[in-house]
Amino acid sequence: MAGMKRIRRIFAILAGMIFLPALLARAQFIGYVAPQTEQQVLAQNVACNGASQFYAIQNLGQTQHYLTVSAISGAVEFQATIQGVDVLGNVFSISDPLMAMGTVKGSGYYPKIQIKVFCVSGTYTATYSGAWGTYDSPTAAYALAQTDKIVFNNNGEGSSSAFQFQTPFSSAAGQVDFQYSVAGAGGSLQVECETAGLQTVTVYNTTLANTTALQTFIIPPFSCQNLILQYTTNSVVGTIFAEYLFTQPGANAPAESYTHVTTTTATAVKGTFGFLHTLTVNTGAAGTISLFDLPAASCTATPSTNTVAVITATATTLQTFTFDVNFLTGICVKASVAMDFTVSSQ
């Protein structure tokens, strides 16, 4: 018996000598492990197919995400975004849409990161870079990607086009530069905003001039998450170019457009939502000038329920009246007698 006890005691000691290093190793502190950086080539001269193309990112704990499009050739429409996917599979855009060559950034950690690219015809080259740390500020190329959107680039002038994209500052405020390659009459340009209830509101609508010169249109501030720029064809064989330049928060608001009136005819200053700045009486006359929110598609009367203001003018008083108010459906003006006045609006 004594021998057996001794053998068991020796076995216990030996077992302890074997398992003790493993236990010590398990408790040993080996230092901190930080998320790693990641560089990835996504596409090299990949052909656009008119559908969304997705690229999975090797997610190693990155919280800063950078997408660079270094080449675009022949694409008439292009849009690339960085997306985060949560554990339930919900997809969120975490960057501004990149709509030309350049670089854009996204922020935040998600279990899955992916790049979405949509383009029509042509080819593109794109790369990804990821890091971990404090999110940096939008400057230089990153700021340009936020504010400058190439919407149409050599799209067919003879067919209508529409493109939807996310606004950078939840506002439609900015300007649209548009150009025909071949002059033609009858085309139009429309800016629509998609509301939270997926309804669309027309913010701006204009008939395009019959010219190949650059045309610039000031778009008023309107709360807008997703924007649709729509071109209606003039049935001319050619191409179009359209660029949307958004106004940054805190920057000067876009300049107002003007409407000069010299008759007693009811005049539509603007046929859609906008911003009324001033009315200036240039040559006085004894009478009134009525301003009212457009009640329907035409500007023919002055309904009291939609009246913004009734200004009394005299033959000797020349004055500027400042309103700075939004109008919802369109603004009309009508003078009771012929006089010369100017309305400025966005």
- Domain with residue 298: its CATH number is 2.60.120
Task: Evaluate whether residue 10 is within a structural domain.
Answer: no
pLDDT of residue 113: 94
One domain, residues 90 and 127: yes
Q: Give the tokens for residue 297.
A: 């598609």
Task: Evaluate whether residue 12 is within a structural domain.
Answer: no
One domain, residues 132 and 42: yes
One domain, residues 166 and 212: yes
Task: Evaluate whether residue 16 is within a structural domain.
Answer: no
User: What are the pLDDT digits (tens) for 277-294?
Assistant: 888 888 877 888 888 887
One domain, residues 150 and 186: yes
Task: Evaluate whether residue 261 is within a structural domain.
Answer: yes
One domain, residues 262 and 290: yes
Task: Evaluate whether residue 17 is within a structural domain.
Answer: no
One domain, residues 127 and 146: no
- Residue where a domain terminates, one of 194, 220, 255: 255
One domain, residues 132 and 148: no
From the number of C-beta atoms within 10 Å of its C-beta (0-12, 13-18, 19+), residue 184 rates as buried
What CA–CA distances, in Å, run from 170 to 12, 56, 107, 153, 249? Answer: 72, 28, 18, 24, 10
Task: Evaluate whether residue 322 is within a structural domain.
Answer: yes
Q: Which of 70, 76, 40, 85 is nearest to 58 (CA)?
A: 40
One domain, residues 43 and 57: yes
- Residue where a domain terminates, one of 255, 271, 289: 255
Q: Which residue has the tokens 């408790």?
A: 27
pLDDT of residue 324: 77
What CA–CA distances, in Å, run from 144 to 15, 101, 164, 207? Answer: 68, 11, 19, 29
One domain, residues 251 and 273: no
- Domain with residue 172: its CATH number is 2.60.120.260
User: Given phi > 0 = left and psi -120 to 50 = alpha, else beta, which region is 122?
Assistant: left
> Using CA atoms, how far apart are residues 226 and 126, in angstroms rounded to an integer?
24
- Residue where a domain terminates, one of 136, 163, 194: 136
SS3 string of 154-170?
Answer: EEECCCCEEEEEECCCC
Task: Evaluate whether residue 28 is within a structural domain.
Answer: no
One domain, residues 212 and 155: yes
> Using CA atoms, how far apart are residues 321 and 304, in angstroms rounded to an integer?
20
Query: 281 forms bridges with which residues in the sheet?
Result: 341
Domain interval for residue 63: 37-136
- In this prediction the pTM is 0.68
Per-block mean pLDDT, blocks of 10 residues, the chain (346 long)? 57 52 50 71 95 92 92 94 94 92 90 95 95 73 87 94 92 92 94 81 87 87 90 95 90 75 86 80 84 72 72 78 78 87 86
93 neighbors 166 (Cβ within 8 angstroms)? yes
User: What are the pLDDT digits (tens) for 292-316?
Assistant: 887 655 676 666 667 788 888 877 7
Query: How many domains is the chain partitioned into structurally?
Result: 3
CB atoms within 10 A of CB 323: 18
pLDDT of residue 334: 87
Task: Evaluate whether residue 3 is within a structural domain.
Answer: no
Sign of the torsion angle spanned by Cα atoms 248, 249, 251, 253: positive
- Domain with residue 110: its CATH number is 2.60.120.510
One domain, residues 230 and 142: yes
One domain, residues 131 and 44: yes
Helix count and strand count (H, E) for the chain: 2, 24
Q: 3-state class of 261 per DSSP?
A: strand
pLDDT of residue 72: 95
pLDDT of residue 293: 80
